[in-house]
Structure 1
Amino acid sequence: MSPSRFVPPSEVPGLATRRIAADILDGVLHKRRMLDDQLDGAAAHPALRTLSDRDRALMRRLVATVLRRLGTLRHVLSQLLDKGLPSDAPRAQSALMIGAAQILWMDVPDHAAVDLSVRLVQADRRAARYAGLVNAVLRRCAREARPLIAEVESQSLDVPAWLMTRWIAHYGEDTARAMARALSHEPPLDLTVKGDAAAWASRLHGELLPTGTVRTLLQGPITLLPGFTEGQWWVQDAGAALPAKLFGDVKGRTIADLCAAPGGKTAQLAHAGALVTAVDRSPARVARLRDNLSRLSLTADAVVADAVEWQGGPFDGVLVDAPCTATGTLRRHPDVAWLKQEADIAALVGLQRRLLQKAVTLLKPGGTLVYCTCSLEPEEGEQAIAALLAGESGMSRSPVEPSEVGGRAELLTALGEIRTLPCHLPHADPRLAGIDGFYAARLVKSPASQEMT
């Protein structure tokens, strides 16, 4: 590629999108900042507001694709670079990964991916001297990378080694590898609709899952899709939509939703007629929950409080959607794979157990407790419930039946707990397959149970 005639960045279509993508990618990989924090809220990248909705969606997809295939990208680039990724110029690293991701997995012409990556480094003082290298490596990537990917496809490089080791130990190697393959695909858009799910599936050019979720491949700004403004649906992964259903008929019943924001499960319960108290410690997240409920024309009592310390109830039901490592959500939040560490599990387990113990005290005798996490780690799921039951003689497990999860018995454990895996819900079209990894258990408090005084 011959050196490009200099054009001011504002005149180069797509360059601003890639520059912001590179900034956000650097934020994740070098500053350990969560992706969602850089996309929304007070800490969001300030230049996002300059992008059109279409370019913002492209920017998000660029970053997510790099993070979703980061291990493979690093391997491929290491094979194409004599001396490895430039360590003294983060922008050169991000430009190479963004360019390679477009060439290998996105519908972007190779020449455009190369040209924009070269311009990206040319505009950075520390990285400018690597413009020729970026040009040469990405051209080689277009010609030579696919066989390099095939060589390591079975190694699951896009899941950190510590996490893959855990999954193999707990789920077996075949299942763990299937989970890793499922996580490599961009996820579809899952929606929980207020009513007539089949009609909405048709209108949104999607399909109705056995569990009741509408799944579609439509892309672009969510706010422009039919039904959004009217509050007819909300975005919610099929796995995340299961726990709230475990309360059964909630009409007129009091339910506490602990750690409730951004409110998908609160919305499910309120729409079903429950009297919901939604508790979350973050004022900003509670504000978002209230906004979401307002759009949906649903009501709940939203409370800013630390759920462990909060005094309320007693309630007919308590939902504990506990903070966790979120390793089940890597399809939708690929930054989690590279920001979490195995040591994080122990600290979160302590919080999860305190939340469970608090939930027991908030329940009426005979009340129902539903506990869930979007984690694939047994300490945050099966072991947490086993520990609670061992210490709380007044609580017992209420097994979930296959009919409560769309007849899909594979989503349940032998004890009647929900355990969805990313490789569940296979489909002939891999873009329509999969589900977030979730754990959920339903417990009942003994009708004769009395709180200690």
Structure 2
Amino acid sequence: MPPLPPSARHKAAVLLDQIIGEGRLMPELIASGTLDRLPPEDRARAQRLAMDTLRGMERADRILSKFLRKPPPLTVHNLLRVGTVELCTGGDAHGVVNDMVAIIGRHRRYGNLKGLMNAVLRKVAEDGPRKWHDLRIPRLRNWLREPLVKAYGQGVMNAMEKVHFAGAPLDLTAKGDPDALAKATGGTVLPTGTVRLREAGQVSALPGYDAGDWWVQDAAAAIPAKVLDPKPGEAILDLCAAPGGKTLQLAAAGATVTALDVSATRMERVTQNLARTGLTAACLTEDALTHSGGPYDAILLDAPCSATGTIRRHPDLPFAKDGSEFGALIDLQQAMLDHALSLLKPGGRLVYCTCSLLPDEGEVQIEDALARHPGLVADRAALERPGIDPAWITEEGGLRLRPDYWADRGGMDGFYISVLRREPPKDN
């Protein structure tokens, strides 16, 4: 029996197989060509189905457990999960069930389970939509949930999980006037100046894309460059710069920017984004720990981290990771921070940030850095920017952002941000 042509539902399950079964992340799979055989509209649909299924996995498994005596093989289970999420959130029962039965029926190994697929999904179609909304908000996996509950408490964790489950709107940073961009795109301007779109559609079709009037950047991710407060003509180093949103912000402010990242592939994205927006920066593919340029007026270090603050946009992360890399990342952040400080002019400023919710990658890193480096201070005043709630400023003088902030507006990524200044030595 010849294989069916690839479909969005089939490829969504393939993505889940590799995320859950192989520990691979969605961006890596997309970049490696997993969806390349699909037309553009089906690529977007497959990715959306996979992400919706990851967000609703707990609910899907609860519903399916009533119709399965034991968990089926992962591939079959993932097809059932995709079908269940779609059926329970408004999908056409006839189309979903028939398509899933056809997909499994042509599978070389599991084709004999098409009867199971048909029977289970028909029961889900009858009973699932009614029960879906009665189930609790899906929780993070325990390896991540436990340390976050310890850090923030059960109530905050529940609020963050609610935002994770809802997903994320599209945020844009304007090269020019945010109000004009909001008017052109039908978005709204957030208190910090980011333009947010609830229903964006195809990003490249939005007004101003070809003209380079804006770039995609979560509201929280735009704040580090704002608190750095770049000035025209300043020499600024953007360490770990890809995909380039912060580089674009610094360049748009008129700074002389050096953008550095260890990945040539990721730096190519920075180059493309600069070209589209008509902005300029020197782009270097180099290890941040060996860079010897400068000294710089200012440095922005968006350090490699667990990315646990981005789960509302990347629900694959808790399924692909298990936390085993945390220790190595924390050591790398410390080394990068120490090296970056050595590249800074006396009196210069450095923004350290991570898109992490883990205090060990944020608050604790800065507490330790202040203890290691005499003359290094956290600049609280630099955090007093439009739209930033003073309650977000932490004891050691950093800024803690969480997904549940602005929950009624769609939330934001979890971030930690600190502005550090190395005071020049005093005369004796």
TM range (shorter): over 0.9
Q: What amino acid is aligned across from residue 59 of structure 1 in structure 2? A: A
Which amino acid in structure 2 is aligned with residue 49 of structure 1?
Answer: D
When residues 8 and 351 of structure 1 are mapped into structure 2, their CA distance, relative to the original with a 3 A threshold, is: closer
Q: TM-score, normalised by structure 1?
A: 0.90
Who is 1:433 aligned against?
A: 410
Q: Which residue of 2 aligns with 1:68?
A: 55
Q: Alpha carbons of 1:349 and 1:407: their partners in 2 closer, same or farther (altered >3 Å)?
A: closer
Across the two proteins, how many residue pairs are aligned to each other? 427
Q: Do the aligned partners of 1:91 and 1:124 also contact (CA within 8 Å) in 2?
A: no
Q: Distance in 2 between matches of 1:138 and 1:229?
A: 44
Contact 1:193 1:214 in 2 (8 A): yes
Segments of structure 2 that go 5 or more residues without pairing to the other structure are none
Which residue type is aligned with residue 410 of structure 2?
A
Contact 2:188 2:196 in 1 (8 A): yes
Stretch deviating more after TM superposition (51-60 or 164-173): 51-60
Tell whether 2:56 aligns with 1:59: no
Q: Cα offset for 1:32?
A: 1.5
Q: Per the alignment, in what secondary structure is the counterpart of residue 27 of structure 1? A: helix
Instruction: Encode CA deviations 1:227-254: one digit per residue, 9 max, x unaligned.
Output: 1111000000001000011122421111
CA distance in 2, matches of 1:401, 1:444: 10
Instruction: Find out whether 1:130 has 2:119 as its counterpart.
Output: no
Q: Percent identity?
A: 39
For the pair 1:103 / 2:80, whether they are aligned, the reply is: no
Measured in 1, the distance between the counterparts of 2:306 and 2:318 equals 9
Q: Report the Cα distance in structure 2 between the residues aligned to 1:414 and 1:391, rounded to whole angstroms.
A: 18
Aligned to 1:78: 65
| Residue 307 (structure 2) aligned to one of 316, 322, 326 | 326
**1:382 deviation in Å?**
0.3
Residues 22 and 320, structure 2, Cα contact 8 Å, conserved in 1: no
The answer to whether the 8 Å contact 1:401/1:416 transfers is no
Q: Deviations over 1:398-443 (max 9, x none)?
A: 015664151433433244422111111032xxxx411010110011
Q: Secondary structure at the match of 1:372?
A: strand
| Deviation readout 1:80-116 (Å, 9 max, x if unpaired) | 3122x212xx3312210111111123x4322222221
Secondary structure of 2:66's partner? Answer: helix
Structure 1: 5+ residue runs without aligned partners? 1-5
Partner of residue 448, structure 1: 425
Cα distance in 2, alignment partners of residues 74 and 205 from structure 1:
37
Within 2, Cα distance between the matches of 1:320 and 1:426?
A: 27
Deviations 1:346-401 (A, max 9, x none): 11000000000011101000000100000000000000011111100121110156
Counterpart for residue 16 of structure 1: 7
Q: Distance in 2 between matches of 1:422 and 1:62?
A: 22
How much has 1:53 moved relative to structure 2? 2.4
Which stretch of the first structure deviates more once superposed, 289-298 or 108-117?
108-117
State the SS of the aligned residue for 1:440: strand
Q: Distance in 2 between matches of 1:346 and 1:21?
A: 32
| Counterparts of 1:295 and 1:347, CA distance in 2 | 36
- Say if 2:251 and 2:279, in contact at 8 Å, map to a contact too: yes
Query: Residue 50 of structure 1 aligns to which amino acid in structure 2?
Result: R
Equivalent residue letter for 1:196: D
Output one character per residue of 1:116-174: Cα deviation in whole Å (capped at 9) or x when no partner.
11111112121211111112212222232356545650xx5430112111111111110
In structure 2, the partner of 1:238 is: 219
Q: Distance in 2 between matches of 1:216 and 1:305?
A: 35
Corresponding residue of 2:325: 344
For 1:333, the aligned partner's letter is H
Q: Distance in 1 between matches of 2:196 and 2:204?
A: 16
AA of the residue aligned to 1:282:
S
